[in-house]
Amino acid sequence: MFQMLTAPSLTLLFLGVVVGLGVSFVWILWEIEQLSKSHRNSDRFG
């Protein structure tokens, strides 16, 4: 099984994991920013 995991495939697997973690981190930050914007808007009109 491990003979199929050559250096290029391991590199692609590592890049896929890093890109996935980066995208999820940016998405979480964006969601937190949207939540803080909605709280600020409700404070303004409330």
Alpha carbon of residue 30 to chain centroid: 10
3-class SS of residue 4: coil
Question: pLDDT below 70 — which residues of the chain?
Answer: 1-2, 40-46
pLDDT for 21: 98
Instruction: 37-46: list long-range contacts, CB under 8 Å, 24+ apart.
Output: none
DSSP classification of residue 40: H
The residue count of the chain comes to 46
Model-level pTM greater than 0.75?
no
- Specify the pLDDT at position 46: 47
Rg (CA), the chain: 20
